[in-house]
């Protein structure tokens, strides 16, 4: 699959096991995510068009793995477990959080990643991002300064992705204070800062800052 994706795309496609991934995150081992994966396979579907993101799912948070993630991987911090399923194939924009994000690939997919320190005057250039292939069953931790957004599909069936984040992330803000620093303009939801591509109208309508420069690159499969 990876070699096929490399042949089909102009941006280089890396594997999350490659050295290029080390500044963005790491592969997580030592945890049994099978209960979450079974739930995703049996109880969730891929929408006919676009993506669906659910930040917190009660049934997923009642699994035994949640306590292990809170106690060990997040060092005692509360987490939420949800999912993102869909058919996205374009960059669209980037978001980041204050705290790591865990992604568990229920299907194969690609992730487009960047670094927060490459943001200049609240803008980021799409060509500076790197694309990584994540194999089904792989769990990764994306570090706090990693820019990311929705996975991209590698088949007509779309993708399924389990998403673990600090509790409350991506929920609506009770208020959106105006800060004195430039970063405050990127704040869209709780613990969610966003740079959207100007062509990505749904994100712009939500109030996302149009800071992704260059083409809204589409990935092929």
Domain ranges of the chain: 2-90+100-167
pLDDT score of 180 = 82
- For 4-46, write each residue's pLDDT tens digit: 999 999 999 999 999 999 999 999 999 999 999 999 999 999 9
pLDDT score of 71 = 98
| pLDDT reading at 98 higher than 80 | yes
The DSSP line for the chain is -HHHHHHH-SS-EEETTSGGGTTTEEE--S---HHHHHHHHHH----SSSEEEES--HHHHTSHHHHHIIIIITTT--EEEEEEEE---B--EEEE-SS-EEEEESS-EEEEEEEGGG-BTTBEEGGG-EEEEE-TT-EEEE-TTEEB-S-B-SSTT-EEEEEEEETTTTSPPS-----SSGGGGGEEETTEEEEE-TT-HHHHHHT-B--EES--PBPP-
pLDDT score of 177 = 77
Is the CATH code 3.40.1800 the one for domain 2-90+100-167? no
- For 142-176, write each residue's pLDDT tens digit: 999 999 999 999 999 999 999 999 999 999 998 88
């Amino acid at each position: 699959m990876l070699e096929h994706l490399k042949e089909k795309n102009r941006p280089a496609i890396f594997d999350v096991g490659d050295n290029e991934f080390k500044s963005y995150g790491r592969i997580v081992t030592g945890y049994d995510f099978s209960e979450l994966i079974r739930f995703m396979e049996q109880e969730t579907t891929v929408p006919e068009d676009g993506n669906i993101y659910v930040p917190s799912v009660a049934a997923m948070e009642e699994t035994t793995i949640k306590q292990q993630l809170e106690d060990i991987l997040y060092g005692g911090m509360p987490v939420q477990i949800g999912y993102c399923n869909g058919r996205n194939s374009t960059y669209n924009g980037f978001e980041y959080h204050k705290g790591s994000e865990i992604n568990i690939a229920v299907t194969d997919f690609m992730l487009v990643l960047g670094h927060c320190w490459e943001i200049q005057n609240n803008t980021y250039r799409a060509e500076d991002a790197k694309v990584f292939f994540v194999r089904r069953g792989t769990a990764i931790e994306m570090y706090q300064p990693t820019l990311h957004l929705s996975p991209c599909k590698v088949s007509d069936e779309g993708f399924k992705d389990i998403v673990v984040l600090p509790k409350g992330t991506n929920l609506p803000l009770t208020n959106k204070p105006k800060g004195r620093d430039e970063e405050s303009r990127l704040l869209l939801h709780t613990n969610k800062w966003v740079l959207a591509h100007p062509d990505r109208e749904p994100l712009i309508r939500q109030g996302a800052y149009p800071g992704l420069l260059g083409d809204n690159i589409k990935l092929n499969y």
